[in-house]
Chain A
Amino acid sequence: MTEFLQHLVNGLSVGTIYALVALGYTMVYGVLKLINFAHGDVYMVGAFAGYYLSELVGVRPPWADPPPGAGEVFVKATIVTMGAMIICGLLGYVIERFAYRPLRHRARLTALITAIGVSFLLEFGFQLSPLVHTPIEFPPGPSPRVFPALLERVGYEWAGVSLSNYDIIGLLVALGLMLGLQFIVYRTRFGTAMRAVSFDSEVAGLMGIPVNRIISWTFILGSALAAAAAVISAVSRPRIEPLFGLMAGLKAFVAAVLGGIGSVPGAMVGGLVLGLAEEYVAGYTDSSYRDAIAFTVLILVLLIRPAGLFGRFTVEKV
């Protein structure tokens, strides 16, 4: 039982990260019918944005002398997280505006290949040796860097299950963001417009909806969520390097497909299910199977229920 609960905690903590990243895939797919393969790399940029911002605001580690006070920790962690979200939001905007929008009315494959191109541009651009040295070393180059400790890790043990404040805060922030997004998508005028664009962008224009602006905001929101996920994840797993968005991106993509690509609640559930599945299978069998789970899930979904858990089946009426 203890082991079961421990896997539950770990699975939820990984699953919320997948869910946040999956939301970006699913929202962009919703409005453009495009799998934005650069999304995993936006996640990677989010981690580096957090890393550089930590340097700029001078995050001091918990073991510094004197140690940072609670107020300082809170303010700096907030600046780092929000700043990374804003930077990635801008990046998402730029990617859509300059890479995808000019190809909007071309064959869908063209945009897909462009997405892979953008992905390579980010992955390999970030592996270049630094061209700028002050105030930050950019690009970071190929060797891994260590994400700074934004706050001190405090471990708890409860009935044999160990968890830390990282898990709890990460979970709360992720849930807060998902609730916020759920509210935006289902309760606001912007969200209704987004769902309308996703159903039929031509007709959405006939309603007076500025379709291009809605698409831009969709990229901004999705990319900002990826940045938040990256910072949350990098706090507990601080090793970051330019290629580490690849696997996270692929898994989040699987989570989006599992939930039903295009469905916002689907991405959230898909992310959590995938995180838990990985954790339980790896925990009860062999942890080297961990990365295989996602792809097994992908194959099973495509075979059994290609529309995913929350997939939309529409019937046209005459």
Chain B
Amino acid sequence: MSGPILEVRDLRVDYGGIKALRGISLEVPEGEVVALIGANGAGKTTTLRAISKMLRPVTGTIRFRGEDVTRLASHQLVARGMAHGPEGRGIFLNLTVSENLRLGAYLRRDLAGIQADAEKAYALFPILAERRSQVSGTLSGGEQQMLAVARALMSRPRLLLLDEPSLGLAPQVVERIFAVLRDVSATGVSLLLVEQNAHKALQLAHRGYVLETGQIVMTGTGRELLASPEVRKAYLGE
């Protein structure tokens, strides 16, 4: 095993004086799935946004594939192999399904490869193929989520950050999305997953971190956390 693909040290974020992250350190080992769980407002989304530079004021260090990327902008991280499916799916509702997909591959120049990957995405989610020339604003929430996952894969990332891929979706759609994530992980892509569905996330994850008020309060393998009484009580509704 090589070193971790993502290494975050002492990440701090302030929102106008409010400490949203109070020194987060975490690692995503190459090829593994890491889940970030915690209550609303614990800082899960903020952690992802700080890693992918949707947020500016950041102290701490972020190393990606061995390189210090703390000072880089979002688009430079994409060029290095990071993709982020943000909170709220981030679909460009004014663009068509196929335009959205192609934007996922914005930095790629291999037109044939992009076309092949788009076809792969359509095979993964056939409903998107039917709607490829529709404006994305007409998609249902579940379809938008599928598009968000498919689009994030279009850059052929080495690391995929995903924020609440199951939020507000019907159980079959959630199953479908998690099945795709399992397959993606099997191809060697590392995943950092934020989920309110802690059960599903920890089942998929090799490792999990529990966030509370901007701090990591517990960490362990997915199995360990699923078995932990505190986690069961606080996040699995038992």
Residue B125 interfacial (CB < 8 Å): no
Q: Which residues of A contact B102 (CB under 8 A)?
A: 192
Residue A207 interfacial (CB < 8 Å): yes
Closest to A191 in B: B99
Residue B92 interfacial (CB < 8 Å): yes
- Complex Cα distance, B84 from A82, in Å, reads 41
Residues of B70-109 contacting chain A, CB below 8 A: 73-75, 78-79, 83-84, 86, 90, 92-95, 99, 102-104, 106-107
The distance from the CB of B49 to the nearest CB of chain A, in whole angstroms, is 8
Q: Which of A189, A199, A315 contacts B95 (CB 8 A)?
A: A199
Is the beta-carbon distance between B79 and A206 smaller than 8 angstroms? no
Q: Which of B14-22, B134-142, B184-192, B215-223 contacts A (4 or more CB under 8 A)?
A: B134-142
- Complex Cα distance, B94 from A198, in Å, reads 9
Q: Which of A193, A205, A211, A315 contacts B137 (CB 8 A)?
A: A315
Is the beta-carbon distance between A312 and B107 smaller than 8 angstroms? no
Q: Which of B83, B106, B168 contacts A189 (CB 8 A)?
A: B106
Closest to A315 in B: B137
Q: Which of B26-34, B35-43, B50-58, B226-234 contacts A (4 or more CB under 8 A)?
A: B50-58
Residue B45 interfacial (CB < 8 Å): no
Q: Which residues of A contact B107 (CB under 8 A)?
A: 208
Q: Which of B78, B90, B104 contacts A200 (CB 8 A)?
A: B90
Is the beta-carbon distance between A207 and B106 smaller than 8 angstroms? yes
Closest to A314 in B: B93
- Complex Cα distance, B85 from A202, in Å, reads 12
Is the beta-carbon distance between A206 and B141 smaller than 8 angstroms? no
Residues of A177-215 contacting chain B, CB below 8 A: 189, 192-193, 195-196, 198-200, 202-211
Residue B46 interfacial (CB < 8 Å): no
Closest to A313 in B: B137
Residue B144 interfacial (CB < 8 Å): yes
Given A317-B144, A318-B141, A318-B168; A206-B95 close (CB under 8 Å): no
The distance from the CB of A63 to the nearest CB of chain B, in whole angstroms, is 52
Is the beta-carbon distance between A105 and B56 smaller than 8 angstroms? yes
Is the beta-carbon distance between A206 and B168 smaller than 8 angstroms? no
Is the beta-carbon distance between A203 and B75 smaller than 8 angstroms? no
A interface: dominant SS? helix
Residue B155 interfacial (CB < 8 Å): yes
Is the beta-carbon distance between A203 and B139 smaller than 8 angstroms? no
Closest to A197 in B: B92
Is the beta-carbon distance between B141 and A312 smaller than 8 angstroms? no
Is the beta-carbon distance between B94 and A195 smaller than 8 angstroms? yes
Is the beta-carbon distance between A206 and B90 smaller than 8 angstroms? yes
The distance from the CB of A150 to the nearest CB of chain B, in whole angstroms, is 40
Closest to B53 in A: A205
- Complex Cα distance, B231 from A309, in Å, reads 53
Is the beta-carbon distance between B54 and A317 smaller than 8 angstroms? no
- Complex Cα distance, B196 from A270, in Å, reads 47
- Complex Cα distance, B141 from A317, in Å, reads 6
Is the beta-carbon distance between A205 and B75 smaller than 8 angstroms? yes
Q: Which residues of A contact B52 (CB under 8 A)?
A: 206
Is the beta-carbon distance between B92 and A208 smaller than 8 angstroms? no
- Complex Cα distance, B104 from A317, in Å, reads 21
Q: B106, B107, B141: which has the most chain A beta carbons within 10 Å?
A: B106
The distance from the CB of A204 to the nearest CB of chain B, in whole angstroms, is 8
List 18 other contacts, CB 8 Å, given A200-B92, A203-B92, A207-B104: A192-B103, A195-B92, A199-B95, A200-B90, A204-B103, A205-B74, A205-B78, A206-B52, A206-B74, A206-B86, A207-B106, A208-B78, A208-B106, A209-B106, A210-B73, A312-B94, A314-B137, A317-B140
**What are 21 contact pairs spanning A and B, CB under 8 A?**
A196-B95, A199-B93, A199-B94, A200-B90, A200-B92, A205-B53, A205-B74, A205-B75, A206-B54, A206-B78, A206-B84, A206-B90, A207-B155, A208-B79, A209-B106, A210-B73, A210-B75, A211-B74, A317-B140, A317-B141, A317-B144
- Using CB atoms and an 8 Å cutoff, list the residues of chain A in contact with chain B: 105, 189, 192-193, 195-196, 198-200, 202-211, 312, 314-315, 317-318
Q: Closest 8 A-B residue pairs measured CB to CB?
A: A205-B74, A208-B78, A203-B90, A208-B107, A208-B106, A207-B103, A199-B92, A317-B141
